[in-house]
Copies of this chain bind each other. A is one copy, B any other.
Amino acid sequence: MKSHRLPIVFITVLSLSAHIVSGGKVLVFPIDGSHWVNMNILIEALHAKGHTVDVIRSAGSWYIKESSPHYTSITREQGGGFDEDFLRALTTDLLRIQADGESSWKRLKVEMELMEKGVEMTQMEVDMLTAMLDDHQFMQFLKEAKYDLVLADPVSPIGPILAHYLSLPLVFNVRWTAHSEGHFAIAPSPLSYVPMPLFELTDKMSFLERVANVFFFAFYEFQAQFLIQPRFAALTNKYFGPDVNYFQLIQGADIWLMRVDFVFEFPRPTMPNVVYMGGFQCKPAKPVPQYLEDFVQSSGEHGVIIMSLGTLVSELPKRIVEEMAAAFAQLPQKVIMRYTGEKPSTLGNNTLLVEWLPQNDLLGHPKTRVFVAHGGTNGVQEAIYHGVPILGVPLMFDQPDNLSRMRAKGAAKVVDIFSVDRDGFLHALKEVLHELSFRENMQRLSRLHRDQPMKPLDRALFWIEFVMRHKGAAHLRTESYKMPWYSYHSVDVVMFLLAVTAMFVTASVFGIKFLCSRICKSKQE
């Protein structure tokens, strides 16, 4: 690793002399799975700019490799987050819950199960953190390393809590925080037009949708205040005293690098320390391997359909795959299907089953017509970048919500993978293939997304280095989160004004009564 660094620093100095931070030291607390894929892009870019990166990982880590040319790993038995076994079990669980849910009643049951799961995971994280903070040798090692900043994914509480412990500036690489959407944690979010995440609501809601939005918000607030916060309270109390609470540590991050932009997201209030880097991982397509190119070219004027359901889910219930393959088989298009499970019996001649595919390069291929996707943020951003309309088959997490955004913008159709049969799926496929509006809308989004004054990745790097140069970004961050809730919402002021008004009215009434009685008296006299 060392041998790589010198010449790269040299190039950077030449091209960006005004902004150079010579050899910063970054400590990273990532999340495993697809989130790591994103974090790794930032890490590679930081390394290319001459910074040293240390990454904390678990021994059982899944995607986060122990050795890399771009970072030095710090492996802990139980400490860098959940390991592969846990995450695989979690997704299987979630798939089952999701496949169950249909009626509102079941939906509520699903939410309850998810809530329980969340609380259980929180407890595991608290235990991990306690073990870490009590490992004095390890903490001493981190202190002596003299990092310039902590780069963390706020899905895990480890980054913010350790950054505070080490008194280091904190930059988030964020899609969600642990217990709510990132934006809700820091920017005022009027529930009338800012939809709560996860519920497929848009920025234009009917009255009943707005009622639901308020209800969901209350539900999550309840969860955060009464189920999550108390579990962290003992921890923050012990290590930081009673004045520091967990949510304040999250809200106190210097910079939030959001993995969305306003082509993807609905317009909404934001804060000066939020930097939008949605699509930062996107890049022009490279040529695909020859066997794929041959297959793609064989589609002729019909073009190809790409199907991929992301990193966490490798196998789907057999029935679903059979139905999808059967629908694909009836199309004149060629289909490239990423799937590692048993080969479906309905697989057509036009469908190529692959264990992995160069998603970005295929999405950028001129013959690609439709992207059949589960709706992870990365895939959706790549589809936007390349202007390929989506047929969405959401599975879990934020996927239904991501896809509902594309649907609202007319760039995607969404089907319920758990209930659709081959005819329904075929019908949806044909719609996205043949109704021009899907393609036109996605290409418009693509034009808007690409028309930025600066590449999203460069913007992200600028702000990470900014935080290193200035040891934070306090001037961009409000400290209003330190106010008690009744002050933040001006409840105390309103109560005061009401009290003053009441006193004034009471005094007036008594005054008038008193005067009247005097007048009456004097008349009687």
Q: Is A462 an interface residue (CB 8 A)?
A: yes
Contact B193 A483 (CB under 8 A): yes
A487-512 vs B, CB cutoff 8 Å, 1 = contact: the mask equals 11110111011000000000000000
Question: Which B-chain residue is minimally distant from A445 (CB atoms)?
Answer: B475
Per-position 1/0 for A457-496, Cβ under 8 A of B: 0110011001001100001111110010001111011101
Size of A's binding interface in residues, CB under 8 A = 53
- Report how many copies the assembly holds: 2
**Residues from chain B with Cβ under 8 Å of A448 in the complex:** 470, 475
Q: Assuming A214-B490, A262-B272, is B478 touching A267 (CB within 8 A)?
A: yes
Residue of A207, A451, A477, A497 with most partner-chain B CB within 10 A: A451
Chain B residues within 8 Å of A489, by CB: 190, 192
Give every chain B residue within 8 A of A497 (Cβ-Cβ).
211, 214-215
Contacts of A480 in B (CB 8 A): 190, 192-193, 203
- Tell whether A187 is near chain B: CB-to-CB under 8 Å: yes
A271 touching B269 in the complex, CB below 8 Å, given contacts A214-B490, A470-B447:
yes
Closest approach, in angstroms, between the C-beta of A471 and any C-beta of chain B? 11
Q: Which residues of B contact A447 (CB under 8 A)?
A: 470
**Contact at B262–A211, with CB atoms within 8 Å?**
no
A428 on interface, CB distance cutoff 8 Å: no
A208-223 interface code vs B (CB 8 A; 1 in, 0 out): 0011001100000000
A193 touching B470, Cβ below 8 Å: no
> In the complex, A268 Cα to B448 Cα: how many Å?
27
A295-313 interface with B by 8 A CB criterion: none
A187 / chain B contacts, CB cutoff of 8 Å:
269
Q: Is A267 a contact partner of B271 (Cβ separation < 8 A)?
A: yes
**Pick the contact of A267 from B211, B214, B273, B459 — CB < 8 Å?**
B273
Residues from chain B with Cβ under 8 Å of A268 in the complex: 272, 478
Q: Are B192 and A267 within 8 A (Cβ)? A: no
Once bound together, how far apart are the Cα atoms of A480 and B205, in whole Å?
Answer: 10
For A487, list chain B residues within 8 Å (CB).
Answer: 192, 207, 210
Residues in B whose Cβ lies below 8 Å from that of A463: 453
Any chain B CB within 8 A of the CB of A263?
Answer: yes
Q: Which residue of B lies closest to A487 (CB)?
A: B192
Q: Nearest chain-B residue to A211 (Cβ)?
A: B493
Which residues of the partner chain B approach A454 to less than 8 Å between Cβ atoms? Answer: 453-454
Set of chain B residues within 8 Å of A270, measured between Cβ atoms: 269-272
A235-279 CB contact bits vs B (8 Å, 1 = yes)?
Answer: 000000000000000000000000000110011111111000000
CA distance A271 to B487 in the complex (A): 23
Residue pair A214, B262 in contact (C-beta under 8 Å): no
A466 in contact with B478 (CB, 8 Å): no
A146 at interface by CB-CB < 8 Å: no
**How distant is the Cα of A461 from the Cα of B196 in the complex, in angstroms?**
34
Contact between chains at A477 and B267 (CB < 8 Å): yes
In the complex the two chains form, what is the Cα distance from A361 to B179 in whole Å?
Answer: 52
Nearest-Cβ distance from residue A260 to partner chain B, whole angstroms: 11
Contacts of A462 in B (CB 8 A): 453
A74 lies within 8 A of chain B by Cβ? no
Are A478 and B207 within 8 A (Cβ)? no
Cβ of A19 within 8 Å of any chain B Cβ, yes or no, is yes
Q: Which residues of B contact A188 (CB under 8 A)?
A: 188-190, 269
A451-B478 in contact given A190-B490, A497-B211 (Cβ < 8 Å): no
**Which positions 29-67 of chain A face chain B at CB distance < 8 Å?**
none
Q: How far is the CB of A478 from chain B (nearest CB, A)?
A: 4
Which residues on B sit within 8 Å (CB–CB) of A210? 487, 490, 492-493
Contact residues in B for A192 (Cβ distance below 8 Å): 480, 483, 487-490, 493
Question: At the interface, yes or no: A417 with Cβ under 8 Å from chain B?
Answer: no
CA distance A303 to B346 in the complex (A): 86
User: Closest CB-CB distance, A440 to chain B, in whole Å?
Assistant: 14
Cross-chain pairs A/B with CB under 8 angstroms, 5 sampled: A188-B269, A211-B496, A214-B493, A262-B476, A267-B476
**13 new A-B contacts at CB < 8 Å, known A188-B189, A214-B497, A267-B273:** A188-B269, A191-B493, A192-B480, A193-B480, A193-B488, A207-B493, A215-B497, A262-B475, A267-B478, A268-B272, A269-B270, A270-B270, A451-B470
A: residues with CB less than 8 A from B are 19, 187-193, 203-204, 207, 210-211, 214-215, 262-263, 266-273, 447-448, 451, 453-454, 458-459, 462-463, 466, 469-470, 475-480, 483, 487-490, 492-494, 496-497
Q: What 8 pairs between A and B have smallest CB-CB spacing?
A: A188-B188, A193-B480, A453-B462, A267-B478, A262-B272, A269-B269, A214-B493, A192-B488
